[in-house]
Chain A
Amino acid sequence: MMKLENVGGILAVVVLVLIQGCAAPQPSPDLLAPTDAQMKIRSLQTRSFDIKDRQLAMRGVIAALQDLGFIIERANESLGLVTAARFAEPNFYDVVGVTVTVRSETDGRMMIRANAIYNNKPIEDPKVYQNFFATLERSLFVTKN
């Protein structure tokens, strides 16, 4: 049979752990720091398109997001920002949020960058972004012609 002193010791440890858990969590110094994963996928999230008109590019982005079943939350033309969200398949409990920015490069091209977040985790799968840009290309083609 276990000695009572041992039980006391175990309880002491448990209580210490509990006390530690009582304090409100402190923000970590890396709260606003970019992650390594983000640096790696940055190039996948960015693509340059041969369009001169910024508004046309914005329309294309909005149309592509609509094609993918997103609901547009906000769009700012002058700063080139579109955010959208949708519930994720199959059970529609989870939320996918997207932020897309459109920026003009020097040589009459537009740089489009998309960030997707699944619930609270950034999506790091390159396929997702490839899909998005494929849809965007199609949508830009349709909008242009």
Chain B
Amino acid sequence: MNLVSHQRMLAQFTRLPVGAGWLNRWLLVGFCLLLQGCPTPYELRHVNQWDSREQIWLSEESQVKIRTAQSRVFDTSDRRKMLATIVSTLQDLDFKVEVLDEGLGLVSGKKYVENEQIYGLDLSYLLYQPDTLLVLNRHDRTWGPFTHRSNLVRLTVTVRKRNEAQLVVRASAQFYLRAVEDPAPYQQFFRTLEQSVFLEGHSVE
């Protein structure tokens, strides 16, 4: 093969339709994404948290700002009634109460939300075997002691005394294993809580 024919071949090769070059480029991008693990279904894609200490560093916003959004002052000194109201507010929000401590003024609950639709048939759902250690259903990822759910919302509400006539209620929520830092959900929560405080105040008097 002489040089001329080689060059001609090269020229022919490079004269392939323009789309092919684009196709290759896109295929490359797609392949890179595949390597990253992105196009897999949502349930397979999310991060397993192996070390809970990582969560400590997850906060991105200013703590003061978050704390302000999470706290609200109520003009009542009846701590027990406030706790009962918080429990009923959690009921309103479809939470399941998990921890309740009157002495510490603490209520915690959890709920599951629908956050992403799965495309087509979810194979992992068919693999679900309730009597094995490995659980693969729609949202649970369990392998031995490790488990977490992608659609879990956790909420902790604390009540403490501010002064003789006021209580401070602080709520902190977690979603997708991260602290919720957006003030909007907290505003919604306190709106609901204020409504039910109002309703309660009137039902007792």
Contacts and interface: CB of A to CB of B under 8 A. Distances in A.
Contacts, number: 148
A22 B38 contact: yes
A141 B36 CA distance: 62
Interface in A18-34: 18-19, 21-22, 24-34
Nearest to B99: A74
A4 B22 CA distance: 8
A120 B139 CA distance: 10
Interface residues of A, number: 49
B20 A30 contact: no
Nearest to A100: B91
A98 to B, nearest CB: 9
B180 interface: yes
Contacts of A66: none
Nearest to A29: B184
B72 to A, nearest CB: 13
B177 to A, nearest CB: 9
Nearest to B90: A99
B94 to A, nearest CB: 5
A83 interface: yes
Interface residues of B, number: 62
Interface in B13-46: 17-20, 22-23, 26-27, 29-30, 33, 36, 38-39, 42, 45-46
A131 interface: no
B189 interface: yes
Q: Which residue among B39, B189, B203 has the maximum number of chain A CB atoms within 10 Å of its CB?
A: B39
B188 A29 contact: yes
A115 B87 CA distance: 12
Interface in B88-103: 88, 90-98, 100, 102
A15 B30 contact: yes
Interface in B162-199: 171, 173, 175-176, 178, 180, 182, 184-186, 188-189, 191-192
A76 to B, nearest CB: 5
A117 B184 CA distance: 25
Contacts of B22: 4-5, 8
Contacts of B83: 79
Contact of B185 (A14, A31, A103): A31
B56 interface: no
Contacts of A106: 203-204
| A-B pairs, 4 with minimum CB distance | A4-B19, A120-B112, A29-B184, A32-B189
22 contacts: A3-B19, A4-B23, A5-B19, A15-B33, A21-B39, A22-B33, A22-B38, A27-B153, A32-B93, A32-B153, A32-B173, A33-B191, A79-B84, A79-B102, A81-B100, A83-B98, A97-B96, A99-B91, A101-B87, A101-B91, A103-B88, A115-B91
